[in-house]
Amino acid sequence: MSNAEGSYHYAVMRRAIERIDAADGAPLTLDALAGEMKMSPAHFQRLFSQWVGVSPKRYQQYLSLGHAKALLRDRFTMLEAADELGLSGGGRLHDLFLRWEAMSPGEYARKGAGLTISYGTFDSPFGEVLAMGTERGLCGLAFTAETGLDAALADMMARWPDAGYVMAPAALEPAIRAAFDPSGETRLHLIGGPFQIKVWEALLNIPSGQVTTYSEIAQSIGHPKAVRAVGTAVGRNPISFLIPCHRALRKSGGLGGYHWGLPVKRAMLAWEAARSEAEAS
């Protein structure tokens, strides 16, 4: 699938998400949704099924305003239990293999000096993704559907201002292909401060199709009163989706924020919930 085609598919999903939100919980028929997307019902149904693996009707349920609260009620992940199972760097994490290496505090303090970071854009289930990586692994994933490519690129480069950057999508393509393949194996290079690394490691312990809360993450890393600092670290996660900051919710069940736009976060949660159900059936 080309980048243009993938971006088109995501744009359709985004419009459908916005339309469902505007309905305020009222169900929309396949014919109504397809008509508003300017597609035939059969084509719209095929696009949804291809993208997420379930029907538009079922998908609406995942995108409902109550879905986050239902996830917290039915699929809440206790991070201490995940830790006891040995879910950590170097092991199998949720639905794909991730091996990660963290930058030392001294390296982080140098703001990327001495690092060469390759970057490129690729298609993904959530529209165009900007990928960045070092010789140790992927260090950045940013989704551009809401922000635009230029803003996403400037945002990511500002995190490591003294690094050298080279546009080299071919160098990153195998890692990106594996990143969205449940059987793939992806190496990550975590570039952040010590507290951020702790928070991101906790995020890595949340299985696909499940969620946790900011307060639970704070508890799991030994800083129960640092909920606001945890939220900031979650928001600064540079490797979106693979370090699943979209699985962190407010204790109330609210989605909270998302650096690359709430429609992307909601699409990710729905995509994972639908695939988890499909795999279980």
DSSP track, the chain = --HHHHHHHHHHHHHHHHHHHHTTT----HHHHHHHTTS-HHHHHHHHHHHHSS-HHHHHHHTSTTHHHHHHHHSB--HHHHHHTT-STTSEETTEEEEEEEPPHHHHHTTTTT-EEEEEEE--BTB-EEEEEETTEEEEEEE-TTT-HHHHHHHHHHHSTTSEEEE-HHHHHHHHHHHT-TT-EEEEEE-S-HHHHHHHHHHHTSPTT-BEEHHHHHHHTT-TT-HHHHHHHHHT-SBTTTS-GGGEE-TTS-----TT-HHHHHHHHHHHHHHHHHHH-
Q: What is the mean pLDDT of residues 231-255?
A: 88
Return the pLDDT at 42: 92
245 is catalytic: yes
Return the pLDDT at 97: 44
Mean pLDDT, rounded, of the chain: 79
Residue 96 has pLDDT above 60, yes or no: no
Which of 109-113, 130-134, 178-182 is modeled with the greatest confidence?
A: 130-134
Looking at per-residue confidence, does 4 or 191 come out higher? 191
Reported as a pLDDT band with limits 50, 70 and 90, residue 272 is confident
Lowest model confidence (mean pLDDT) among 112-126, 144-158, 206-220, 266-280: 266-280
Return the pLDDT at 223: 92
Reported as a pLDDT band with limits 50, 70 and 90, residue 103 is confident
Return the pLDDT at 225: 92
Return the pLDDT at 74: 63
Reported as a pLDDT band with limits 50, 70 and 90, residue 116 is very high
Residue 65 has pLDDT above 50, yes or no: no
Residue 182 has pLDDT above 70, yes or no: no
What pTM was computed for the model? 0.74
% the chain with pLDDT above 90:
33
Per-residue CA distances from 246 to 32, 138, 184, 198, 207 (Å): 29, 18, 20, 17, 12
Q: What is the mean pLDDT of residues 63-76?
A: 59
- Tell me the per-residue pLDDT of 11-33, one tens digit each, with 9 for 90 and over: 777 777 777 767 766 788 999 99
Return the pLDDT at 236: 92
Return the pLDDT at 99: 65
Residue 93 has pLDDT above 50, yes or no: no
Reported as a pLDDT band with limits 50, 70 and 90, residue 279 is low
Catalytic residue among 98, 199, 245, 269: 245
